[in-house]
């Protein structure tokens, strides 16, 4: 169980995340939705500790042998947390001129010295782990290609393989399909769901399309102006509740229309 307790992040006197509290049981697939600036990325970045909270706590009781206050971790324990709580991003964040294989091996850096990995020297165990991860994402045949020779969808699958070799218990995804076309978006979302189901890895993903969250997630959290405006099963999220999450009150409906867009929604699997 991951417990988020009264988590707050203030930037220049404005709360990007405002007193947010929720629990995520192990193995759940959660979609976080909300308009631009609602605080979705800030929330994920605090969970991964890329950003420090202004106040509040993050507690996790099933990733390490005992319950830990994630928000208080430092040094080696913090690096271990980042390993167990892997993250993928909209822009994939691969090293463009390195081979796919090496990019995935970089996921082992939390466990191994960095230099041998960057030189392409790695143990048989790491090599096996890497190949298996690439196979699961149907990317093993690209192992020796440079990352910058791949399509966006392929790059995201490599980024997910890199996250997998971290042997995470939690996978955070910040708009993982926002830069992809429909076909690749479907492949990537299917992969995340399969990893969630087969490995029991908790997946928490920011998603810009409501329909994607409906199609793939066990639970949807709607954020509005830093606060939680909805938290429930997809079936409980009515259109009028969804409109409230995306509403701004200034007459601007652009994002509502975009979030509801059926044409660009990822096809249901």
Ligand X SMILES: Nc1ncnc2c1ncn2[C@@H]1O[C@H](COP(=O)(O)OP(=O)(O)OP(=O)(O)O)[C@@H](O)[C@H]1O
| Closer residue to ligand X, CB minimum distance, 34 or 153 | 34
Size of the site for ligand X (CB under 6 A): 10
Should residue 38 be labelled a site residue for ligand X when binding is judged by CB under 6 A? yes
């964040």: which residue's tokens? 93
Should residue 31 be labelled a site residue for ligand X when binding is judged by CB under 6 A? no
- Residue ranges in 207-226 that form contacts with ligand X under rule CB under 6 A: none
In degrees, rounded to 5, the angle at the alpha carbon of residue 79 between the alpha carbons of residues 17 and 128 is 120
Should residue 37 be labelled a site residue for ligand X when binding is judged by CB under 6 A? yes
CB 137 within 8 A of CB 77: no
Should residue 40 be labelled a site residue for ligand X when binding is judged by CB under 6 A? yes
CA dist list (Å): 147 to 120, 142, 159, 172, 191: 15, 9, 10, 22, 19
Distance CA 222, CA 179 (A): 21
Q: For binding to Mg ion (CB under 5 A), which residues are involved?
A: 40-41
Report in angstroms how near the CB of residue 9 gets to ligand X at its nearest: 7
Q: Which one of ligand X, Mg ion, none interacts with residue 71, CB within 5 to 8 A by kind?
A: none
Question: Both tokens of residue 110?
Answer: 């939390």
* Residues paired with residue 5 on neighbouring β-strands, in sequence order: 57
| Closer residue to ligand X, CB minimum distance, 56 or 110 | 56
Should residue 49 be labelled a site residue for ligand X when binding is judged by CB under 6 A? no
Should residue 42 be labelled a site residue for ligand X when binding is judged by CB under 6 A? yes
Report in angstroms how near the CB of residue 120 gets to Mg ion at its nearest: 34
Report in angstroms how near the CB of residue 208 gets to ligand X at its nearest: 6
| Closer residue to Mg ion, CB minimum distance, 208 or 219 | 208
Phi, psi angle pair for 2, to nearest 5°: -105, 125
């169980």: which residue's tokens? 1
Should residue 117 be labelled a site residue for ligand X when binding is judged by CB under 6 A? no
Q: Which one of Mg ion, ligand X, none interacts with residue 37, CB within 5 to 8 A by kind?
A: ligand X
Sign of the Cα torsion 13, 15, 18, 23 reads negative
Q: Which one of Mg ion, ligand X, none interacts with residue 36, CB within 5 to 8 A by kind?
A: ligand X
3-state secondary structure of 220: strand
Task: For helices 124-136 and 182-199, give the axis angle rounded to 10 degrees.
Answer: 120
3-state secondary structure of 143: coil
Report in angstroms how near the CB of residue 178 gets to Mg ion at its nearest: 9
Report in angstroms how near the CB of residue 209 gets to ligand X at its nearest: 11
Distance CA 171, CA 89 (A): 11
| Closer residue to ligand X, CB minimum distance, 154 or 211 | 211
Report in angstroms how near the CB of residue 243 gets to Mg ion at its nearest: 20
Should residue 176 be labelled a site residue for ligand X when binding is judged by CB under 6 A? no
CA dist list (Å): 114 to 98, 111, 119: 14, 9, 9
Distance CA 38, CA 26 (A): 25
| Closer residue to ligand X, CB minimum distance, 16 or 158 | 16
Q: Which spans of this chain sit near ligand X (rule: CB under 6 A)? A: 11, 16, 34, 36-42
């Amino acid at each position: 169980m991951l417990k988020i307790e009264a988590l707050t992040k203030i930037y220049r006197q404005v709360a990007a995340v405002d007193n947010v509290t929720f629990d995520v049981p192990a193995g759940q697939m959660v979609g976080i939705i909300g308009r631009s600036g609602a605080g979705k990325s800030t929330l994920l970045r605090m969970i991964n500790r890329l950003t420090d909270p202004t106040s509040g706590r993050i507690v996790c009781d099933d990733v390490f042998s005992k319950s830990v206050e994630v928000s208080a971790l430092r040094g080696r324990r913090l690096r271990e947390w980042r390993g167990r709580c892997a993250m993928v991003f909209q822009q994939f964040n691969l090293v463009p001129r390195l081979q796919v294989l090496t990019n995935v091996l970089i996921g082992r850096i939390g466990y191994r010295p960095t230099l041998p990995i960057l030189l392409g020297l790695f143990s048989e165990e790491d090599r096996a782990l890497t190949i298996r991860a690439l196979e699961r994402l149907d990317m093993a045949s690209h192992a020796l290609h440079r990352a910058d020779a791949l399509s966006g969808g392929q790059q995201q699958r490599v980024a997910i393989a890199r996250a997998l070799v971290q042997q995470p218990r939690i996978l955070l995804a910040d708009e993982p399909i926002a830069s992809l076309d429909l076909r690749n978006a479907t492949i990537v979302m299917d992969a995340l769901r399969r990893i969630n189901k087969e490995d029991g890895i908790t997946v928490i993903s920011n998603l810009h399309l409501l329909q994607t969250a409906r199609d793939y997630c066990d639970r949807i959290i709607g954020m509005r102006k830093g606060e939680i405006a909805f938290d429930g099963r997809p079936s409980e999220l009515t259109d009028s509740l969804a409109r409230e999450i995306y509403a701004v009150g200034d007459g601007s409906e652009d994002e509502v229309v975009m979030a509801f867009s059926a044409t660009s929604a990822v096809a249901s699997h």
